[in-house]
Amino acid sequence: MAHSMVAEAEAVLDREFPVLDKGFVRLVDYMGSDDRVVQAARVSYGAGTRTVREDAGLIDYLLRHNHTSPFEQVALVFHMKLPIFVARQMVRHRTASLNEISGRYSVMKDDFYIPADADLALQSTDNKQGRSEEALDPVFAGELKAAMGAEQRRSYAEYSALIGKGIARELARINLPLSLYTEWYWEIDLHNLFHFLELRLDPHAQLEIRRYAEVMYDITRKVAPLCCASFERYRLGSVTFSREEFAELGRRLGSAADAGSGALAGKALERFEEKLRTGKQL
């Protein structure tokens, strides 16, 4: 992928950044930067801007008004090693192009993910798809990790035994657990990467995929710092209001235009109050 050089990005190119216990993220290549976004916008907006400050203002304008096509001119290619269950969450973002190691052609490595003690928790009582924020008792956590490790070793031993008997690799692999590490190349443009990051950097996202998103975002800031600053300003950590919530907000601010709108109640009111209190999208 041909690209104009960005010193900060070049400094981290091909460098492995560790994630979780055995994973990593590596920037393999990139195309474009803040300059490419501005240049693409100038096609539509004429002569455009000339200083860094004005470039930043134009990028702000583009992001603020959802003019997304200039951001699609920038692309990043990541090489990642990640647990299969994290990969399956990432693959739901269908805007990326990926090439994954194949268990049909290759013998899978004996690499499995085991969470750190602090990351083990019971099921949350108020979040059907998440874990409790309270860590497990250290003794219980140790027992759980030992059980996980034993099951992983047993599973891989059975896999190796099938390979040793000449069973087809595509069959031998099917009982390997989701904790097995896989690897892939993942290419995505900046617009769709921002959408991925907005969702996966959110505190409600699963911790393991959030760890990968954090490292990917740190790398992205090296490639396009002005774009990332605008992303942080207008998208990351921002909240949106429904029509009814906006009416409630107007009522509280004394807007006559919203005075006749129906008041929020029940869960809808609770969600609105939580947005105001925490600044988090629910």
Q: What is the DSSP string of 176-222?
A: --TTBEEEEEEEEEHHHHHHHHHHHSSTTS-HHHHHHHHHHHHHHHH
252 CB-side CA count, 13 A: 12
Backbone angles phi, psi at 180, to 5 degrees: -65, 140
- Residue in 15, 18, 39 with CA at minimum distance from that of residue 224: 39
CA distance 19 to 213: 10
Q: Is 42 a catalytic residue?
A: no
Contacts of 272 (CB under 8 A, 6+ apart): 241, 245, 248, 264
Q: Which of 26, 36, 173, 200 is catalytic?
A: 200
3-state class (DSSP) for residue 61: helix
Active site residues: 200
